[in-house]
Amino acid sequence: MKNKKLLAILIFAFVIFVVALPTVCVFIPYKDPILIDERFNVLYNDDSGRLEIWGEVKNPTVCKINKLIFDVSLFDIYGDEIYSENVEVEIELKAGDTQAFSQDLNYIVNLNNDALYSFSVYNFEYEYNTLYAWVWYVFGFGTFGLFALLFKKIRISFQVEGHKVDIYATETRAVLVVDGKVFKELKLASRSSIEKRSFRIKERILKIELKYGYMYPDINVWVDGKEPSFAKITQHSFLKIPKKQQNATTANTATNK
């Protein structure tokens, strides 16, 4: 029995999980972190006796930022540069977070001239962690594999001479249910084995062929040599496969042939 709906779902899922989403993740443009200028300042550090550069940075990217690198210049009251330094700040800034940072400068402070200083920060660089392109595709393929495992059980329903027939199947097992009662259970002894059974429902001959499905159930059904019109096909991993009922009264409905 060919489940065209399942095939369409799996193809769609493959395109989304293995092709589209990883490709989008690979080519997402990197956004520069945002320095919050109004919170940026240079202060005197009483503990170290030096000037301290302090500020906040917001990380709008999907990466983790490990280091913030920038230049800072100090100016006197006339606007002349009196000191510059390249500053490196170790941070642990996760995606979407905002974090304050501070770093002592090497400039020796003259407390009598604090009021003379102004400052400027520029040439910002960031060191961040990102994933190699192939990692995104591995994640995508793994996600597709987990999604595909949801379809390991199937139930097909159809009518034969006014009787409702349900067949539940997994990779190695099938259960025939007629009018809500379990009639027969088929099991495969090995991957190479094939189970073929025939049953009579009134004047109709129902044939079931079960093969090892490797990933999904592989079951074929014929009524008088033709594939029946299935009223419903349900396929997902949460189906409850009924167990063989003891002393079930099915002789009037179906019989082994």
pLDDT for position 246 = 44
Residue range 67-83: average pLDDT? 85
pLDDT for position 250 = 39
Residue range 86-98: average pLDDT? 87
SS (H, E, C) the chain: CCCHHHHHHHHHHHHHHHHHHHHHHHHCCCCCCEECHHHCEEEEECCCCEEEEEEEEECCCCCEEEEEEEEEEEECCCCCEEEEEEEEEEEEECCCCEEEEEEEEEEECCHHHHHHCEEEEEEEEEEEECCCHHHHHHHHHHHHHHHHHHHCCEEEEEEECCEEEEEEECCCEEEEEECCEEEEEEECCCCCCEEEEEEEECCEEEEEEEECCCCCCEEEEEECCECCCCCEEEECCCCCCCCCCCCCCCCCCEEEC
pLDDT for position 251 = 35
Q: What is the pLDDT of residues 196-254, one digit of tens each?
A: 999 988 888 999 999 887 778 888 999 998 888 888 888 888 888 887 654 433 334 45
Residue range 38-47: average pLDDT? 72
pTM of the predicted structure, to 2 decimals: 0.54
Lowest-confidence region among 45-49, 85-89, 163-167, 172-176: 45-49
Q: What is the pLDDT of residues 115-149, one digit of tens each?
A: 556 888 888 888 877 767 788 889 999 999 888 88
